[in-house]
Amino acid sequence: MATLTVWKFDSADAAAQVESVLQSLQKQQVITILDAAVVSWPEEATKPKTKQLHNLVGAGALTGTFWGMLFGLIFFVPLLGAAIGAAAGALGGKLTDIGIDDDFIKEIKEQVTPGTSALFLMTLGAQTEKVSDALPEHSAELIHSNLDTKTEARLREIFSE
């Protein structure tokens, strides 16, 4: 079963600093990373910066479209034009079908704010407690939404279109 996890950090650069920790956990087979992305939001910035972590994932990675649309729904919706907003609304409906609902988006939007960062992971078989233990010096807080095999397949289908 795939899991979408979101780890929030108390500083704008902390999420980007855990990439080597994730690589180590993956080598130890504590986590299998299907895809990953980082959101960094400096205190003085009006919106966050996003980055997909390509070097942590293999051929099964989702497209950048998934992360772009998810981050657009979470952080940039008020800035979208009507046409883009309508497309985002249609995609939002599809995301709800696979378990990424308004409550999930609202929770992330409320918690990832200026001066913080977040690590978004799509994983298989993650041993969450071991991952958490590897991140304590970074003040990570876990927010997660589980995806079953059928939901993961639907997610890949949506973003391969």
Strand, coil or helix: what is 116?
strand
More confident residue, 141 or 76: 141
Q: How far is CA 67 from CA 38, 73, 129, 137, in A?
A: 10, 10, 25, 26
CA pair distance 145, 2, nearest whole angstrom: 10
* Alpha-carbon torsion (94, 97, 98, 102), positive or negative: positive
pLDDT digits (tens, 9 = 90+) for 36-89: 889 999 999 998 998 888 766 655 566 667 777 778 778 764 433 444 444 555
Strand partners, 146: 3
Q: What is the pLDDT of residues 85-105, one digit of tens each?
A: 445 555 555 555 555 677 877
**CA distance linking residue 83 with residue 71, whole number of Å:** 17
Are the C-beta atoms of residues 133 and 31 closer than 8 Å to each other?
no
Q: What is the pLDDT of residue 17?
A: 87
In this prediction the pTM is 0.76
Phi, psi of 52 (to 5 degrees): -85, 135
Which whole number is the average pLDDT over 126-142? 75
The two tokens of residue 42 are: 């400096």
CA dihedral 138, 4, 2, 68 (to 10 degrees): -120
Q: Model confidence over 14-37: pLDDT tens digits?
A: 998 888 888 888 888 888 888 888
Alpha-carbon gap, residue 20 to 122, rounded angstroms: 17
Distance CA 99, CA 102 (A): 9
